[in-house]
Amino acid sequence: KITLFWFRRDLRLEDNTGLQRALQEEKNVLPLFIFDRNILERLEEKADARVEFIHAQLTEIKAQLEKKGSSLLVRYGTPEEIFSKLSTEFSISAVYTNRDYEPYAKERDEKIEALLEEKKVRFLSFKDQLIFEPGEILNGSGEFYKVFTPFSKAWLSKFNQTDIQNPGQPNWKNLKGLTPFPMISLGEMGFEKTSICIPPKITDEDLIRHYDQNRDFPAKNGTSRLGIHLRFGTISIRKLAGIAAKLNDVFLKELIWREFYMMILAFNPQVVDRAFKPEYDRIPWRQDLGDFHAWCAGKTGFPIVDAGMRELNETGYMHNRVRMITASFLTKLLLIDWRWGEAYFAKQLLDFDLSANNGSWQWAAGTGTDSQPYFRIFNPESQTSKFDPDLEYIKHWIPELETKKYPKPIVAYKFARQRALETYKIALEK
Ligand code: FAD
């Protein structure tokens, strides 16, 4: 009899709750990863740095497991197909895994649990991706928080009473002894290598210590760039939150935003394609493909917006301050549907995460959990003088800034601002 440990967005061997528990409670533990065809087939671009990143992490994990005399089973297909097949290949007593809170993942897990139950296989899932999962932080009436600040206060007070210590070395001798399995290649799944660099998994304590002073300036190296590592669990949230709590409260607050948006999505799966505040779905968005494509390409004639979009297109990353400016520009000044912007970011961002992306886009469009009224509209010029006063970031991404090659603004700021205010007002008065 074997026990499977199913890796998903927790691609690490250390401080991994589900893996630790499987190795503590079971014998003959066989680690598994499924390249989910349902997810991969939705990706338009076959050179996708995120798929390449997952593949590289798995190759590394597999090598480490092989040093311990075991291996990693990597399969390609739909999880239902794979589990049905595995149950004919092995005699499985249990499947251990860490919980995932996205709508697709929850539905997938329910199906797999039911499929395994029929075969008398136990399915055990654990909290690992978050310090507090959806439902653990509720208001006095037992409901989820709709606003960030009271959520973060409740989160912090619970955090101060919680032990987030790493449980120590897993009981590796309970891994199943194996000769190495073969590893599927990117090419066999129809994917290619890219030339995108992945930010390294470094928790730079000095950077985190000064995070609050530097994080808003896109020309500075002031943020951690750990987004992709948090997304795929190559770093433990408990480890990072522990460092944050020691070094910088503002950094810890960003990790709370991550949990806030995961909670919002878990309680409100409809936000995937609808406004969190339903009345905002009455806004008549402009279906202007020309303006949208100019925005995507970084050719709006608004330097801070264009610099951000070019950074995103070239590196798969965009600084948070500039994400807010570009998103506000698209939704307010161009009056283009936040869902278009959200989908474009989802395609381009290395750290793409459904909950953070959806929550942040809705925040920028005013349709989401923001407690501020919709008439906050970022002014690209004043944002530039505050956060990139020497145009260092802008000039880095737009070398032709001061030449004739650089486009004229596609819209006049004052006019666009007024148009947004009127359109929102009329739509919300109905
Ligand atoms: P740091 O500033 O070093 O923060 C550390 C970590 O905290 C981040 O890696 C991230 O996991 C978390 N975090 C920070 N800010 C936020 C936030 N506002 N909401 C949720 N988590 C946060 N973040 C994503 O992880 N995935 C996305 O798809 C995403 N899309 C966004 C879209 C828009 C329009 C906006 C305005 C923000 C978006 N963010 C997203 C939030 C934020 O911009 C990024 O998390 C951050 O810029 C990543 O860089 P970093 O790793 O250097 O973050």
Contact 309, 296 (CB under 8 A): yes
Average pLDDT over residues 73-88: 97
Candidates 343, 212, 183; CA nearest to 272 is 343
Least confident of 195-199, 254-258, 369-373, 399-403: 369-373
Candidates 27, 28, 29; CA nearest to 16 is 29
Evaluate: CB of 215 within 6 angstroms of ligand 1.
yes
For tokens 């630790």, name the residue. 20
Evaluate: CB of 410 within 6 angstroms of ligand 1.
no
Evaluate: CB of 257 within 6 angstroms of ligand 1.
yes
Candidates 330, 428, 309; CA nearest to 377 is 330
Report the nearest-CA residue for atom 2 of ligand 1: 223
Question: Domain 130-165+202-267: which topology?
Answer: 1.25.40
- How remote is the CA of residue 185 from the centroid of ligand 1, in Å? 30
Which three-class secondary structure state does DSSP give residue 146? coil
pLDDT tens-digit readout, 327-339: 999 999 999 999 9
- How remote is the CA of residue 356 from the centroid of ligand 1, in Å? 7
d(CA 211, CA 205): 10
- Identify the pLDDT of residue 18: 98
pLDDT tens-digit readout, 90-105: 999 999 999 999 999 9
| Strand pairing report for 122-126 and 29-36 | unpaired
d(CA 326, CA 341): 9
Q: How does residue 376 score in pLDDT terms, banded at 50, 70 and 90?
A: confident
Contact 321, 218 (CB under 8 A): yes
Evaluate: CB of 259 within 6 angstroms of ligand 1.
no
Tokens representing 114 are: 């039911």
Residue 361 CA: nearest ligand 1 atom is 34
Report the nearest-CA residue for atom 46 of ligand 1: 320
Tokens representing 379 are: 């002014």
d(CA 25, CA 5): 12
Residue spans per domain, the chain: 2-128, 130-165+202-267, 272-429
Evaluate: CB of 357 within 6 angstroms of ligand 1.
yes
d(CA 190, CA 51): 11
Average pLDDT over residues 336-344: 98
Is the pLDDT assigned to residue 371 strictly greater than 80? no
pTM of the full predicted structure?
0.98
Of 50, 253, 351, the one to substitute when testing ligand 1's pocket (max ligand atoms within 8 A of C-beta) is 351
**Looking at this protein, which amino acid is placed at residue 184?**
I
Residue 227 CA: nearest ligand 1 atom is 9
Contact 126, 98 (CB under 8 A): yes
Query: Domain spanning 2-128: which superfamily?
Result: HUPs (3.40.50.620)
Residue 359 CA: nearest ligand 1 atom is 19
Residue 255 CA: nearest ligand 1 atom is 7
Residue 32, φ and ψ in degrees, nearest 5: -135, 145
Evaluate: CB of 90 within 6 angstroms of ligand 1.
no
CATH number of 272-429: 1.10.579.10
Report the nearest-CA residue for atom 10 of ligand 1: 227
Contact 266, 259 (CB under 8 A): no
Report the nearest-CA residue for atom 14 of ligand 1: 254
Q: What is the DSSP letter of 235?
A: S
- Identify the pLDDT of residue 167: 82
pLDDT tens-digit readout, 283-333: 999 999 999 999 999 999 999 999 999 999 999 999 999 999 999 999 999
**% the chain with pLDDT above 90:** 97
Tokens representing 102 are: 């996205």
- Identify the pLDDT of residue 372: 76
d(CA 164, CA 16): 12
Q: How does residue 11 score in pLDDT terms, banded at 50, 70 and 90?
A: very high
Evaluate: CB of 224 within 6 angstroms of ligand 1.
yes
Residue 327 CA: nearest ligand 1 atom is 34
- Dihedral angle, C-alpha 390, 394, 398, 400, nearest 10 °: -30
Element (H, E) at 9: none
> From the centroid of its chain, how far is CA 216?
20
Cα→Cα distances 104→39, 82, 225, Å: 9, 17, 26
- How remote is the CA of residue 187 from the centroid of ligand 1, in Å? 31
Tokens representing 50 are: 């995120």
Is the pLDDT assigned to residue 374 strictly greater than 80? no
- Identify the pLDDT of residue 411: 98
Cα→Cα distances 121→21, 77, 98, 113, 244, Å: 17, 20, 17, 9, 39
Evaluate: CB of 315 within 6 angstroms of ligand 1.
no
Is the pLDDT assigned to residue 430 strictly greater than 90? no
pLDDT tens-digit readout, 26-60: 999 999 999 999 999 999 999 999 999 999 999 99
Evaluate: CB of 352 within 6 angstroms of ligand 1.
yes
Report the nearest-CA residue for atom 52 of ligand 1: 225
**Looking at this protein, which amino acid is placed at residue 234?**
T
Which three-class secondary structure state does DSSP give residue 95? strand
Tokens representing 308 are: 């951000």
Cα→Cα distances 346→45, 208, 254, 350, Å: 12, 26, 20, 9
Average pLDDT over residues 131-153: 97
Residues 315, 200, 7, 208: is their CA dihedral positive or negative? Answer: negative
**CA geometry: angle at 34 spanning 33 and 35, to 5°?**
120
Evaluate: CB of 351 within 6 angstroms of ligand 1.
yes
The residues carrying an active-site annotation are 254, 257, 285, 320, 338, 361
Strand order in the sheet with 122-126: 73-77, 29-36, 2-7, 92-98, 122-126
Q: What is the DSSP letter of 175?
A: B
Q: Is the ipTM of this complex over 0.95?
A: yes
